Amino acid sequence: MGWIGDTVDSVKSIQIRQLLTQAVSLARQAVMILRRVWTLIGNCCFAKHIQFSIREETAVLENSYLVSGFILSARISVVLRHLLLVPGMIVTSALIIWKALMCITGSESPVVVVLSGSMEPGFKRGDILFLHMSKDPIRAGEIVVFNVDGREIPIVHRVIKVHERQDTGEVDVLTKGDNNYGDDRLLYAQGQLWLQRHHIMGRAVGFLPYVGWVTIIMTEKPIIKYILIGALGLLVITSKD
């Protein structure tokens, strides 16, 4: 319940102007992409009936994909359309979901995959965390995602100490992994004792087990990614309209 309030606050807190431009560009992108996708779908489903009427537009589309040179026969163009359709749909829906999550959660990377076992048994490798970034002050016990200067990969650990300044409201935060023996000072930059607000990218609010394995496997074994894409493509080509 509090979460909904937070969400509303975070949506509100984005500057109206910024929100508007974002929304407009997002909508424009979405409309453009959707129009293309739907045209493609339309082409595939009703190719036999309305192929003539939309041939021109199809040609333009395929021009834009730099494949016009390959359109030798109707059959090839149907196959090509299919090849473009499925990845197109997947990519656009992923993009739409991602952008929507960014808007709702107010966090630049709304979903993170747990890569290490430092928060076991709560979070295991391959679990997914949903982040939320709000203006609320950081408190002990929260699980935050933070960046340390000089480290590329963000870390997900729990806050164990908080000192908040009286005058400026700045915070000094110390974190620790539930499964680690000591606190995180060894992980911080040389000589750094505390995390400040700007190190923190978001706090974890939701949890989904195992799903992150998809990304881990695909990053570590790219061959599986290619097999998967190939299989999808084959499926599309071989299946009937």
Partner 1 sequence: MHSFVYRANVLLTLALTILALMCVIASFSDNFNFPSPSAEIQIVKFNGFQKKPPGNDEVSLTMNITADLQSLFTWNTKQLFIFVAAEYETPQNSLNQVSLWDAIIPAKEHAKFWIQTKNKYRFVDQGSNLRGKEFNLTLHWHIMPKTGKMFADKLVLSGFRLPEEHRRG
Active site positions, annotated: 118, 157, 184
- Sequence-distant (6+) residues with CB within 8 A of 129 are 111, 112, 113, 114, 123, 143, 145, 156, 204, 206, 207
Give me the 174-203 binding string for partner 1, x by CB under 8 A, dash otherwise.
----x----x--------------------
Contact status: 27 vs partner 1 (CB under 8 A) = no
State the nearest-atom distance from the C-beta of 208 to partner 1, in Å: 6
Contact status: 230 vs partner 1 (CB under 8 A) = no
State the nearest-atom distance from the C-beta of 23 to partner 1, in Å: 26
State the nearest-atom distance from the C-beta of 193 to partner 1, in Å: 10
State the nearest-atom distance from the C-beta of 235 to partner 1, in Å: 5
Q: What region does 127 belong to: left with phi over 0, alpha with psi -120 to 50, or beta? A: beta
Contact status: 7 vs partner 1 (CB under 8 A) = no
Contact status: 162 vs partner 1 (CB under 8 A) = yes
Contact status: 57 vs partner 1 (CB under 8 A) = no
Closest CA to 78 of 209, 224, 240: 240
CB-wise, 45 or 234, nearer to partner 1? 234
Other beta carbons within 10 Å of 10: 19
Q: Which two tokens stand for residue 158?
A: 């729990």
The correct pick among 169, 186, 190, 220 for binding partner 1 (CB under 8 A) is: 169
Contact status: 121 vs partner 1 (CB under 8 A) = yes
- Residue 25 Cα distances to 8, 28, 29, 30, angstroms: 21, 5, 6, 8
Distance, in Å, from the CA atom of 207 to the CA atom of 112, rounded to the nearest integer, reads 10
174-177-182-187 Cα dihedral, nearest 10 degrees: -70
User: Look-up: residue for tokens 């996708």?
Assistant: 37
Contact status: 5 vs partner 1 (CB under 8 A) = no
Q: By CB under 8 A, which span of 18-26, 78-86, 105-113, 229-237 interacts with partner 1? A: 229-237
191-173-133-16 Cα dihedral, nearest 10 degrees: -80
Q: By CB under 8 A, which span of 61-69, 96-104, 105-113, 160-168 interacts with partner 1? A: 160-168
Contact status: 148 vs partner 1 (CB under 8 A) = no
Other beta carbons within 10 Å of 106: 21
State the nearest-atom distance from the C-beta of 236 to partner 1, in Å: 10
CA atoms within 13 A on the CB side of 90: 9
Contact status: 98 vs partner 1 (CB under 8 A) = no
> Length of the chain in residues, anyone?
241
- What is the contact surface with partner 1 in residues (CB under 8 A)? 1, 3, 121-123, 137, 139-143, 158, 160-166, 169, 172, 178, 183, 204-209, 231, 234-235, 238-239
